[in-house]
């Protein structure tokens, strides 16, 4: 066979193989919550392109920012290490804790957290590994800070007041531009920008309805004032109907495949949806014409040595590492009152030839 034709067929086969391939279980990072309860849990997680990951705990005065070196492929042989970068001693037993985390292109780390009554919030930046030095800290009074997302090298988007977006400078944490919003109904939590069309997705819960998302559109990172339009109550039937909710309604955007990763969290509300896991959606259109089509639901029930679905999902993060798509899920399993916490890692094994597949 002609060599050029063979290579074309091989590339076409690999491309086709990637389509419709499900995520499967890859490995687990064990996590300890000192005094676990319904309000002392995991928070967000961030997967780095070199296979390291970070996570925060939503654990009152015991809340931490943790670093997991060599999570991928290290979880396959327990050849990873977990270390604490920062212990957030500013929270008390009646507060909530750290809720979200994101990384920029240089590997710098951003974390957010909030007190129980929303009377103060934490927003911090740490330098990239290996130094992990505190770069800045911007305590925020009288506002609840929820999800965060680095939408450009200069701008950190912060979900505030459950229905709005604040824009912070990544350089020092001060205001970059005036706040945008409000955008519809409460209770917006995590946020993620679609880098293909600049729509911003906000995971939401509560107000006695069961849906998990709002879409904020019309702007770009260079035109923040353009974010004036929104679609509310998207992804009906997933999420948490109870108004208080969890630390987050976690979502993330897959920038390689134009897909939305959304947690279907434990529902403690009156609607009492018993299903919890992670849903992967393809995205077509943008703004008011956006259509989400579910590609996969993963609930943890197929993981060896465990019984039943996840108890809850507290954070989700996507990245491509060594030519393959990976998800990191901050989860709990067991029962809602006796929960074991962990970071599960999933891989979409048909997405390419990874560097670790060559050995």
pLDDT per residue over 129-165, tens digit each? 999 999 999 877 657 788 999 999 999 999 998 999 9
Phi, psi of 4, rounded to the nearest 5 degrees = -65, -40
The reported pLDDT for the residue numbered 353 is: 44
Is 8 a residue whose pLDDT tops 70?
A: no
Contact yes or no for 112/122 (Cβ under 8 A):
yes
21-352 under CATH 2.130.10.10, yes or no = yes
pTM of the entire predicted model = 0.91
Q: Residue 19: how many CB atoms within 10 A of its CB?
A: 10
The reported pLDDT for the residue numbered 17 is: 39
Q: Mean pLDDT, the chain, as a whole number? A: 89
Is 19 a residue whose pLDDT tops 60?
A: no
Sheet with strand 339-348: strands edge to edge: 24-30, 339-348, 324-334, 312-321
Contact yes or no for 47/29 (Cβ under 8 A):
no
Confidence of residue 20 (pLDDT cuts 50, 70, 90): low
Looking from the CA of 100 toward its CB, the CA atoms found within 13 Å total 31
The reported pLDDT for the residue numbered 356 is: 42
Range of lowest pLDDT (8-22, 88-102, 165-179, 306-320) = 8-22
Token pair 């630390």 in the structure block, residue = 247
pLDDT per residue over 276-316, tens digit each? 999 999 999 999 999 999 999 999 999 998 999 999 999 99
Characterize the bridge pairing of strands 155-160 and 164-169.
Answer: antiparallel
């Amino acid at each position: 066979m002609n060599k050029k034709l063979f290579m074309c067929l091989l590339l076409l086969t690999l491309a086709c193989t990637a389509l419709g391939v499900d995520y499967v279980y890859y490995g687990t990072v064990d996590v300890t919550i000192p005094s676990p309860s319904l309000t002392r849990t995991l928070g967000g997680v961030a997967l780095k392109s070199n296979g390291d990951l970070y996570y925060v705990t939503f654990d009152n005065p015991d809340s931490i920012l943790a670093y997991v070196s060599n999570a991928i492929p290290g979880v396959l042989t327990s050849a990873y290490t977990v270390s604490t970068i920062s212990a957030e001693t500013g929270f008390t037993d009646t507060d909530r804790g750290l809720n979200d985390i994101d990384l920029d292109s240089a590997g710098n780390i951003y974390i957010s957290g909030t007190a129980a009554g929303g009377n103060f919030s934490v927003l911090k930046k740490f330098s990239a590994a290996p130094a992990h030095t505190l770069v800045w800290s911007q305590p925020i009074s009288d506002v609840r800070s929820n999800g965060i997302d680095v939408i450009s090298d200069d701008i950190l988007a912060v979900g505030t007041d459950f229905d709005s977006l604040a824009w912070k400078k990544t350089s020092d944490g001060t205001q970059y531009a005036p706040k945008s919003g409000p955008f519809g109904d409460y209770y917006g939590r995590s946020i993620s920008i679609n880098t293909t069309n600049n729509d911003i997705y906000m995971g939401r819960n509560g107000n006695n309805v069961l849906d998990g998302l709002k879409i904020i559109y019309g702007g770009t990172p260079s035109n923040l004032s353009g974010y004036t339009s929104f679609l509310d109550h998207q992804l009906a039937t997933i999420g948490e109907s109870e108004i208080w909710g969890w630390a987050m309604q976690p979502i993330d955007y897959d920038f390689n495949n134009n897909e939305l990763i959304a947690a279907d969290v434990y529902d403690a509300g009156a609607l009492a949806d018993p299903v919890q896991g992670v849903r992967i959606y393809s995205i077509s259109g943008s703004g008011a014409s956006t259509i989400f089509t579910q590609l996969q639901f993963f609930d943890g029930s197929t993981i060896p040595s465990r019984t039943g679905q996840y108890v809850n999902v507290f954070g989700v993060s996507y990245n491509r590492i060594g030519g393959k798509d990976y998800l990191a899920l901050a989860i709990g399993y067991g029962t809602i009152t006796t929960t074991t916490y962990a970071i599960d890692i999933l891989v979409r094994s048909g997405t390419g030839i990874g560097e670790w597949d060559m050995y």
